[in-house]
Amino acid sequence: MSPSWAPQHHGSRLAWSRHKAWSCGLSWVVLGVLSCHGGATSAPRIDSIEPNRVVHGSSVQATIVGANFQTGLDVRVDSRQAAKVDRVFAVWLGSIRVATSAVEYVGPTQLTIGVPPTLAVEAYDVKVTTPAGRSATLPDGLIVVDSAAAPSGSAAGGSASARGASGYTGGYGADASGGSLPETETGGTSDASTGSGGSGLGGASASPDAGEPVSGGTTGSAGSELAGAGQTMTLDAAGSGGSAGSDATGTAAAAAGSDGAPDGLHTTLWTDGRLLKDTCGQVVTLRGVQQKLLAGVPSDGDWTGLMDQIAATGANAVRIIPDVAVLTLADLDAVMAKLHGYGIIAILAGPSFGWLNDNHAMLAKYSDRLILDVWLPSYDDRARFVRDGQAAVETVRSYGYTEPLVVSSNDNARDLPALLQYGETLVAADPGHNLMFGWYAYWGSSNLYQNRYGMSLSEGVSNAAAATFPIVMGLTQYTEGMLREDIEYADAVTQAQTHGMSWVWSTWYNPPSAINALSSDGTLNALTAAGAEVVTEHAAGIAKTSVLACQEP
């Protein structure tokens, strides 16, 4: 089950990262498909976005001006088709990705985007990623203001916020000639008192404690009084429930969630402490299955039909492990579309980093129900696990993915204490602040892992559920290998339901190793004994507890 992150030869196909540029077409003779991407190596640069200030709720086309917005070139050596120019640029406004269809390449110094009218009132970093994976960011490049906060002469007004792990705790305040930006933009706000309110020129600033009011800017410097309507910000002791006041008038805006984006305005799944939430702001508890997609699974190669059968169980998530040497991009796209159509979350595991980089545009279509499983160490070395896990997350984030990423624990994901000890360190290091962890609770009747880690399986579930970050539990009927020890999975399922903990069963259907399969032939009508219990009979099983994302329980 360990994913492979190195380029590999598979039969007549060669999968290779676009970072190899032109070296993959000039000196090799390849019998198969070789995809190359060439282009300048200069990093892109963003100079400005015009307009840089838009009114909340309005549909606006903006122009991003900069340099080195280089397209890519897709060459397939064994094809008679002409080389294709890749003009798919990814643009983010803060943590929100602009729809690919709303991004247009104009030239190497210019892109146009459609600014989503649903953006909350705040300042947004503008980030551009080229087809070759090179990125540039313009901090606070776009400011969204309330319609009542855009008087004449205020176009140059600034905004201030204090971004922290638990949302925005500062308010916006500015005057007609520009507000001041406090030096707390990237500071942590684990304590409510650390966030500072924004101030306009001559405006009031505040360092709010729990429950204190924050005022917006009180005067303008362009000869006009801008009424600073003092808005109240109520913060709990942890500083987790702040609201962002708007520029110029201090009008209150939507409450901010854990990553600073207002609930309901997320375009991807997102983590809030130990919880996973959907784009509607509702908690999602995963009740899913794992499925490999490869030659002979299923025997007729009908991978989308296999998704139909899994969907019939009521599962709200499927961890798919595709053999991308067998499945074409179109094949996997069809599988993703099928799951997305059912409202099922796809947890994608296995493709190499290069594959993820090359195929971001396809996966972006399903970003609201996508989780990427990016690291599963096959060794027992906790220090190395932390280093490698952080490096994997940073690599995938550099490609522009904002979706939740899963890092599985040390020792083939068996080492729960490693997650409990180092999980917060890895969460803090995630540039996207959207991290989950995998623990395979394959702790069998010999008590090998129980003795090694000093806790029973039941205690392990309780400890995992009490973590400050999401842990997804892997479940199965028997341990793998020659021993095939029993696992107390039924009790673990009950306990997971009690604690609101996510789990994924390995596996739904796997002819090469059918011992833990829930279905003997891939259909709902051929459930194994474990399948009948886990899917339909158990009070905390899939059919009785699974709830789709953005669907009320």
**DSSP per-residue codes, 148-170:** GG--TT-TT------EETTEE-S
426 pLDDT more than 90: yes
pLDDT score, position 59: 80
CATH at 307: 3.20.20.80
List pLDDT tens digits, range 346-396: 999 999 999 999 999 999 999 999 999 999 999 999 999 999 999 999 999
Choosing from 113, 145, 177, the residue where a domain stops is 145
| Confidence bin at 553 (pLDDT 50/70/90) | low
Domain end, chosen from 145, 169, 186, is at: 145
Residue 203: name the closest of 223, 175, 233, 172 by CA.
175
Q: Indicate whether 317 belongs to any domain.
A: yes
32 in any annotated domain: yes
Asked if the model's pLDDT at residue 186 lies above 50, the reply is: no
Closest CA to 414 of 390, 370, 378, 372: 378
Q: Are 61 and 111 in contact (CB under 8 A)?
A: no
Sequence-distant (6+) residues with CB within 8 A of 19 are 132, 133, 354, 357
Mean pLDDT score, 253-268? 54
Who wins on pLDDT, 270 or 76? Answer: 270
* CA–CA distances in Å: residue 457 to residues 118, 288, 297, 400, 502: 45, 20, 32, 37, 15
Average pLDDT, the chain: 76
Q: What is the pLDDT of residue 270?
A: 97
In this structure, are residues 176 and 224 in contact, taking their beta carbons and an 8 Å threshold?
yes
pTM of the predicted model as reported, rounded to 2 decimal places: 0.57
Tell me, yes or no, whether 354 lies in a domain.
Answer: yes
Exposed/middle/buried for 482, CB within 10 Å: 0-12, 13-18, 19+? exposed
Dist CA 248 CA 200 (whole Å): 8
- pLDDT reported for residue 407: 98
Residue 225 included in any domain = no
pLDDT at 64 over 50: yes
The reply to whether 162 falls in a domain is no
Q: How far apart are CA 99 and CA 107, in angstroms?
A: 19
Contact 546, 315 (CB under 8 A): yes
260, 95 contact by CB (below 8 A): yes
CATH of the domain at 108: 2.60.40.10
Higher per-residue pLDDT: 309 or 260: 309
Let me know whether 139 and 287 are in one domain. no
Domain extent, residue 345, equals 283-545
Long-range contacts of 332-336 (CB under 8 A, 24+ apart): 332/293, 332/362, 333/362, 334/303, 334/304, 335/293, 335/303, 335/304, 335/307, 336/362, 336/363, 336/365, 336/366, 336/370
Number of structural domains in the chain: 2
Please identify, among 90, 110, 145, the residue that sits at the C-terminal boundary of a domain: 145
Burial class (CB in 10 A: 0-12, 13-18, 19+), 524: middle
- Quick check: is 358 in a domain? yes
**Looking at the domain assignment, is residue 502 inside a domain?**
yes
Domain for residue 405, yes or no? yes
> Residues 276, 281, 282, 288: is their CA dihedral positive or negative?
negative
- Comparing 110-124, 145-159, 325-339, 455-469, the range with the smallest average pLDDT is 145-159
**Residue 141: is its pLDDT beyond 50?**
yes
pLDDT confidence band for 489 (50 / 70 / 90)? very high
**pLDDT score of 456:** 96
